Amino acid sequence: MKTIILLIVSNLFMTIAWYGHLKQENVPLWKAILVSWVIAFFEYCLLVPANRLGFTEYQFNGFQLKMIQEVITLVVFSFFAVLYLKEPFHWKYLVSFALLLGAVYFAFKK
């Protein structure tokens, strides 16, 4: 559970670092890059321990950790895109997510 919580918080930082500047068109690109790197530092401070814990303590393998991270990333980004970027959420995204959950199922299947 610690791994999942750390991955969620890490992805919040990542999403802000990667996409938060998109609505700040008046900010010079070099400043957006600098601010994104500062925010990404905190993302890595959470992501690295999340993966280490998941691998050593919870016995996830690398593929499973990546699948978990991708699902969390898509969920976090979906909220960000709708709430902050004001983008519409289409049915085709739900279909895409369902297919990704199928990939997660097979990644964890024994």
pLDDT digits (tens, 9 = 90+) for 7-34: 999 999 999 999 999 999 899 999 999 9
Provide the domain limits for residue 42: 2-108
Instruction: Compute how many other C-beta atoms are within 10 angstroms of the C-beta atom of residue 82.
Output: 12
Q: Is 61 left (phi over 0), alpha (psi -120 to 50) or beta?
A: beta
The confidence band for 1, taking pLDDT boundaries of 50, 70 and 90, is confident
Contact 64, 71 (CB under 8 A): no
Please determine, for residue 79, whether its predicted confidence score (pLDDT) is greater than 90.
yes
Question: Percentage of residues in the chain with pLDDT exceeding 90?
Answer: 73
Structural domain count, the chain: 1
- pTM for the whole thing? 0.85
